[in-house]
Amino acid sequence: MLTLLLLPPLALRPPPPPRMLRMATRRPPPFMLARRGKRTAPASPRVMQRSATGVPEIAACHPERYSSLLRGKVAHMEALLAASLAAHPGAALPPAQVFESARLHFRMRASFKFWREGEGLHYVMFNREDARTPQEVVHYPMGSVRMNDLMGALREELLAAPSLAQRVNDARFLTTTTGEALVTLTYNRPIAAPCSRGLMWEAEAAAVAERLGVSIIGRSRNVAIATGAQTVRERLHVEGRGVCEYEQMEGAFTQPNAGVCQSMLAWAYDATRGLDATDLCELYCGNGCFTIALAPNFRRVVATEVSKTSVLLAETNLRHNNISNVRIARLSAEEFAMAYYGKRPFRRLEEAGIFVEDFTRRSTPSSSTLRAPGWTPRAFPYTPHLECGVLLERRSLSMLRGIQNASHALGGVGQ
Ligand SMILES: C[S@@+](CC[C@H](N)C(=O)[O-])C[C@H]1O[C@@H](n2cnc3c(N)ncnc32)[C@H](O)[C@@H]1O
């Protein structure tokens, strides 16, 4: 049996303080203070912080520190995995394959809040520890070049277009390596009605979208208006596998770092070569990012995903890539486990043409065809996160648990 674990990114930071402690230090809500007869101090006005470079520390890249930060993360992960495997003789950790990220302009998507100061409109971000102090982002060196170009141009357009700027809350950029871009603007006002100056959002947004060469989607309560395509098309070059194409959509998960994603897909493709008599079960398949890259290596693939939008995208992506040996079901991983272990049947599986009994009974044990087990960390540049792919050969379940425990020991996951 093949187990390809793609561990979610791990937050290499100390565990949070115990919950009780945090609750004890929290201020009581204002109504409680009023009832006790105390005065509620007015909240101090929030002031936007600017940095000389236009890049707050939270968004800063430090290319000169990248290599040592990555080495530290890999060493930390190696120590955790080695400790977990120590009780299993013969289960030595093979060397990691490490894929480095571009130092700058590696993120294909990002969102920014808007902040108003007089007539001005600014992109801002907030530190995790201080959600009240907006930090101005003039440039975003982590973001793709296309995103950075768009940020300035969109801001200028918004300042000149009253119906677009009025009560705009945030901007979400989704860009691709092919130069396509989708911009989503969210609003605290109904955008289907004219703005206070009598102008319609859709008309102004369509003109701006054309000038910027993007598609703009506006979202307000219960309404979404698109000026053009609602998806962008990404093309990833996966070494050994060729080009994989993906429709992507704002709001449905996409790998943020396209360059590292290509490396991860190439690693996973290479690690699973020679398994064409084997079936693959993929949980959390998203828009089919790994499914499409790996499908040619397997006889059949069953992929599950909980988000309806992602399932639709994955099905579209299978068609675009001419893949016919994959069935996708909208099922949570927990539901799939229930079906797999015979605890509960799910009509959604049958509707997707997946018969779990058939899948489990006819799967071919594959350990004899496996290449050397391996693992690969990939970095989230300048953050404490690390994402690992691990190829496991089934020897003992307790060893598998050891690796799972290593990830839990890191104090949770984060994206
Ligand atoms: C980090 S994304 C990874 C998606 C995909 N594997 C990729 O690499 O692009 C995790 C995905 O799991 C889905 N998800 C979250 N909780 C889930 C659950 N309990 N069961 C199944 N899917 C879930 C999310 O909708 C999301 O698409």
Per-residue pLDDT tens digits for 254-280: 999 999 999 999 999 999 999 888 889
Ligand 1 centre to CA of 108 (Å) is 18
Point out the residues of the chain with pLDDT beneath 50. Answer: 1-5, 7-8, 10-35, 361-371, 410-415
Ligand 1 centre to CA of 36 (Å) is 46
Residue identifier of the C-alpha nearest atom 27 of ligand 1: 286
What's CA 40's distance to the chain center, in Å?
A: 40
Q: What is the pLDDT, as a whole number, of residue 158?
A: 96
Q: What is the pLDDT, as a whole number, of residue 212?
A: 98
* Residue 285, ligand 1, Cβ within 6 A: yes
140 among annotated binding-site residues: no
Q: What is the pLDDT, as a whole number, of residue 152?
A: 97
Q: What is the pLDDT, as a whole number, of residue 89?
A: 76
- Cα–Cα dist 37/9, whole Å: 47
170 among annotated binding-site residues: no
282 among annotated binding-site residues: no
- Cα–Cα dist 161/208, whole Å: 9
For the CA of 291, the nearest atom of ligand 1: 6
Q: What is the pLDDT, as a whole number, of residue 142?
A: 96
* Residue 389, ligand 1, Cβ within 6 A: no
Q: Which of 337, 269, 343 is nearest to 302 (CA)?
A: 337
* Residue 306, ligand 1, Cβ within 6 A: yes
Q: Are 179 and 147 in contact (CB under 8 A)?
A: no
For the CA of 8, the nearest atom of ligand 1: 1
Exposed/middle/buried for 71, CB within 10 Å: 0-12, 13-18, 19+? Answer: exposed
Residue 340's SS3 state is helix
Decide the pairing of beta strands 300-305 and 279-282.
Answer: parallel
Clarify whether 388 is annotated catalytic. Answer: yes
Ligand 1 centre to CA of 207 (Å) is 35
Contacts of 132 (CB under 8 A, 6+ apart): 46, 126
Residue holding tokens 């989230």?
Answer: 380
Exposed/middle/buried for 304, CB within 10 Å: 0-12, 13-18, 19+? Answer: buried
User: What long-range pairs does 11-20 form, CB within 8 A, spacing at least 24?
Assistant: 11/384, 11/385, 11/410, 11/411, 11/412, 11/413, 11/414, 12/73, 12/76, 12/384, 12/385, 12/386, 12/410, 13/384, 13/411, 14/411, 15/411, 15/412, 16/411
Residue 379: strand pairing partners: 386
Residue 123: strand pairing partners: 114
Q: What is the pLDDT, as a whole number, of residue 38?
A: 56
Q: Are 374 and 94 in contact (CB under 8 A)?
A: yes
* Residue 310, ligand 1, Cβ within 6 A: yes
Residue holding tokens 């400790």?
Answer: 83
Global pTM reads: 0.84
Q: Which of 166, 228, 217 is nearest to 193 (CA)?
A: 166
Exposed/middle/buried for 17, CB within 10 Å: 0-12, 13-18, 19+? Answer: exposed
| 242 phi-psi bin (left φ>0, alpha ψ -120 to 50, beta other) | left
Q: What is the pLDDT, as a whole number, of residue 373?
A: 60
CB atoms within 10 A of CB 90: 7
415 among annotated binding-site residues: no
Rg (CA), the chain: 24
